[in-house]
Every structure is written in C-alpha cells, then in structure tokens.
C-alpha cells in the first residue's frame, strides 16, 4: 500500500529569550532566571522555564493567549495572564489556592513574541507541524 505524501514542514527554528522574571509574593519580588523558548515545529506553544535554587520548573503556554494577556486579562485553568502596572505582564501559574505569580517585562515580552510571529505568522501554524510520524502510524 502506498502512503500518501505529506508536505515537508519548513526547517525547525528555535527562538530563546533569557530574562529575569520575578516571583511576586505579598511582601516582595524575588528575581528568578527564566528562559522563554519557541520552536517553529511546536508553533502553538511557548515554553517558560523558571530557574530556581530547587531546580527548574517548566510551563507550556499557548502563544496566542500569551500575546492576548499582554493587553487584557486572559486565562483558563491553571494559567492566567494579565498586563500589570510598570510595563509588566503577570502570569498566575498553578491552582488558585497555591498559584505562583510571575512577573515579566511587557515590552521585552512583546518584542520577543513579535519575533515568533515573524518566524511563524498567525494562521500558518499547522504548516509548520511535521505530520509525517502520525501519518506513518495511521497508514501502517
């Protein structure tokens, strides 16, 4: 049986942003190293890695939701994002009763996000996904 051919997605590109995020508590803001990563082969996902003394914590965020959260409050489940005073974006990550509030610079976040939309424009995400492994399994 011949397999249907699927278009080959463009070469995978990765865009990283290393920054300082802040864990926001009732009494202070604790600086944390953070790496924000985007891969064109996972075009809907932004990976946020928070570097803490106890180790790394990784969150996978929706790219469009992250962008929307720089302008107005958005969120569902354990991820909520909203603009904040002093050119910040605040992410509430986790269950409401024990969530972490993480602050990032809004301006730098928007510049980085715009780069991701240059690499994979909105609406073209599915053309960057490599569907071949799934098709191989389905046609075997």
Q: pLDDT tens digits for 65-116?
A: 999 999 999 999 999 999 999 999 999 999 988 999 999 999 999 999 999 9
Query: Would you say residue 63 lies in a domain?
Result: yes
* Integer-rounded Cα radius of gyration of the chain: 18
Query: Would you say residue 75 lies in a domain?
Result: yes
In sequence order, what DSSP letters do the residues of 57-116 get, joined into one string? Answer: EEEEEEHHHHHHHTTS-EEETTEEEEEETTTEEEEEES-GGGPEEEEEEHHHHHHHHHHH
Query: Would you say residue 64 lies in a domain?
Result: yes
DSSP tag of 27? S
Domain range for residue 58? 14-121
Q: Is 50 helix (H, G, I), strand (E, B) or coil?
A: strand
Q: What is the pTM of this model?
A: 0.83
DSSP tag of 46? E
- Tens-digit pLDDT profile for residues 44-75: 999 999 999 899 999 999 999 999 999 999 99
Query: Would you say residue 9 lies in a domain?
Result: no
Tell me the CATH number at 115: 2.30.31.20
């Amino acid at each position: 049986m011949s397999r249907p051919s699927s278009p080959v997605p463009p070469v995978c590109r990765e865009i990283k942003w290393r920054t300082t995020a802040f864990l926001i508590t009732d009494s202070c803001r604790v600086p944390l190293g953070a790496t924000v990563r985007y891969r064109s082969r996972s075009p809907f996902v932004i990976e946020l890695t928070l570097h803490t003394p106890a180790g790394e914590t990784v969150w996978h965020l929706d790219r469009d939701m992250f962008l929307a959260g720089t302008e107005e409050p958005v969120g569902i489940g354990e991820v909520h994002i909203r603009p904040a005073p002093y050119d910040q974006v605040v992410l509430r990550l986790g269950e409401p009763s024990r969530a972490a509030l993480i602050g990032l610079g809004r301006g730098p976040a928007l510049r980085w996000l715009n780069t991701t939309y240059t690499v994979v424009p909105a609406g073209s995400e599915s053309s960057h996904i490599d569907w071949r492994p799934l098709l191989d399994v389905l046609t075997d």
